[in-house]
Amino acid sequence: MNTLNMSEQDISTITLDAVAELAKRLELDAYDNVFEGLKDWHLLRAIAFQRPELVASYMHLLDLESFDEE
């Protein structure tokens, strides 16, 4: 399964191992160009919204914490 072109249906069947591989690529940040990294980041973000249990260990890669604007 090519994780860069996953559909919503694919996300429902993604495995914990596939998410770990995706997170490892993001942590290494060894992409040929910024757009490849951005695709992986968006994919991890989509997984976080649809299957949050799979990305609990990788939330630090998404920086989705709410901000206090006061």
In tens, the pLDDT along 1-59 reads 455 566 666 899 999 999 999 999 999 999 999 999 999 999 999 999 999 999 999 99
Domain range for 53: 3-60
Q: Is residue 69 part of a domain?
A: no
* Dist CA 19 CA 54 (whole Å): 7
Q: Is residue 17 part of a domain?
A: yes
Number of folded domains that form the chain: 1
Write down the pLDDT at residue 64.
Answer: 63
Confidence of residue 63 (pLDDT cuts 50, 70, 90): confident
Rounded to two decimals, the pTM is: 0.78
Nearest Cα neighbor of 19 from 35, 46, 29 is 46
Q: Is residue 67 part of a domain?
A: no
Q: Is residue 47 part of a domain?
A: yes
23-34 tens-digit pLDDT: 999 999 999 999
Q: Is residue 27 part of a domain?
A: yes
Write down the pLDDT at residue 4.
Answer: 52
Neighbours of 36 (CB within 10 A): 13
CB 4, CB 43: distance < 8 Å: yes
Q: Is residue 29 part of a domain?
A: yes
Nearest Cα neighbor of 23 from 48, 40, 47, 46 is 40
Two tokens at 52?
Answer: 């949050």
